[in-house]
């Protein structure tokens, strides 16, 4: 069984609808991870995405650059 999750706020507090489909087990796993770290489910997802993005693209991409002054660790041939 899949669960459809909708939530999100951006900018001046206006609500944006974002959705994704997960199983009940996956939403329970997310709840356990977020409770362990003391984050909301949304913050947990955001942090995991950022961590994985910077692991794959340590120097960023054409449209997403590291913050000014960020220490960049990675291979010399990364884009």
Structure-model confidence comparison of residues 60 and 1, the more confident one? 60
pLDDT in tens, 36-72: 999 999 899 999 999 999 999 998 999 999 888 888 8
User: What's the rounded Cα separation, in Å, for the pair 39 and 36?
Assistant: 8
Domain ranges of the chain: 2-56
Calculated CA dihedral for residues 11, 17, 21, 27, nearest 10 degrees? 60
Report field, pTM of the whole predicted structure over 0.75: no
């Amino acid at each position: 069984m899949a669960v459809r999750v909708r939530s999100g706020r951006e900018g001046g507090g206006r609500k944006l609808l974002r959705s994704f489909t997960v199983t009940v087990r996956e939403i329970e796993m997310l709840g356990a991870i977020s409770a362990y770290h003391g984050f909301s489910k949304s913050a947990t997802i955001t942090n995991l995405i950022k961590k994985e993005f910077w692991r794959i693209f340590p120097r960023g991409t054409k449209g997403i650059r590291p913050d000014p002054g960020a220490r960049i660790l990675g291979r010399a041939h990364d884009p």
